[in-house]
Structure 1
Amino acid sequence: MVQKYQSPVRVYKYPFELIMAAYERRFPTCPLIPMFVGSDTMNEFKSEDGAIHVIERRCK
């Protein structure tokens, strides 16, 4: 019988958005990570109370 693989879940001390913002500032033009070279905002949604903020981006 084949064992099912389950990838580990990463738990960060800080919100994921804050971690990604730190990477963008630390490696602004890293060619190995296309999102940092540049991205276009495709769609942005913010709820009225500000609790939900969703940004869809496409890498260049």
Structure 2
Amino acid sequence: MPNLLGRKWPAPIGRVMAPFYVSGLVVLYGVNAFSNTLAATDEFKNDPRNPAIKNQNANGH
């Protein structure tokens, strides 16, 4: 039975792409931290669309 994925190429894709994967995770972490910081500012603290407010109301605070 032939391989369904095609020919297997002997190229080190994971090792070559590792810096891009790591930098993508760093960027996602930074965007998440920045959005959490903005959600806690006075401008958005009382906004009903703020997910932090929804979590506090669900916990009974």
TM-score, structure 1 as length reference:
0.29
Q: Which has the higher strand share?
A: 1
Question: Which protein shows a greater Rg?
Answer: 2
Q: Which has the higher contact order (CA 8 A, sep 6+)?
A: 1
TM-score by length of structure 2 reads 0.29
More helix by percentage: 2
